[in-house]
Structure 1
């Protein structure tokens, strides 16, 4: 089962990444832009999704566009939540207990790429990331 420490490990290898505590839990930023976060069962989340988030660890990440999020949900509906809130779109949330570590690394890194400026993306690419 993946943990927040696994997210921290991936994020630590991404240039310019920083972790901050928020009212909803841990969150990761690059140059002030949010790219991954621990989900919190906010009242604005649909009740069935809020129930999952309240019962287990769920992480959200930015994605390039809404179609990417929909594709992930369709590909693995037992891993990815169909919706959370409208805030911060496009994004996708996933159940940490159901994600494998390789896929977690890909999701966090791609979320970072969506938010990172070009010079940081180039730095990661030059480092072999």
Structure 2
């Protein structure tokens, strides 16, 4: 099971990544663009998902497109949740209790890539 500390370690290794405390909890940005965040049971979240978010740690990440989010949800429906809100799509939310640390690292890195500018992606990839 992955933790927020695991997420913090992954994010700290990504160029330009910055953690901020927000009304909803911790959130990670690259060049002022949100790429990962703690999900909280806001009134705009569907009731069945609010119950999950109220009882366990749920994290949201940006994804490349809606098909990526759909594929994750279909691959692991007990871990990846349906859409939380229509805003800031494409994104996916997942239960941290259901994520292995290596999968978390992949999700966070890919979310960062979606939002990071090219020069930071090149820096991360070793100047390629």
**TM-score, normalized by the shorter chain, greater than 0.5:** yes
Which residue is 2:71 aligned to?
A: 71
Q: How far apart are the structure 1 equivalents of 2:90 and 2:77?
A: 17
Which residue is 2:6 aligned to?
A: 6
Which residue is 2:59 aligned to?
A: 59
Which residue is 2:123 aligned to?
A: 123
Cα shift at 1:127:
7.2
Q: What CA deviation, in whole Å up to 9, does each residue of 1:52-98 have, x standing for no partner?
A: 01100000000000110011000000110012111111000000001
* Alignment coverage as a number of residue pairs: 128
SS in 2 for 1:126: coil
Cα shift at 1:27:
0.1
Matches within 5 A, 1:1-129: 1-126=1-126
Unpaired runs of 5+ in structure 1? none
RMSD over aligned CA atoms reads 1.1
> What's the TM-score, normalizing by structure 1?
0.97
Runs of 4 or more above 4 Å deviation: none
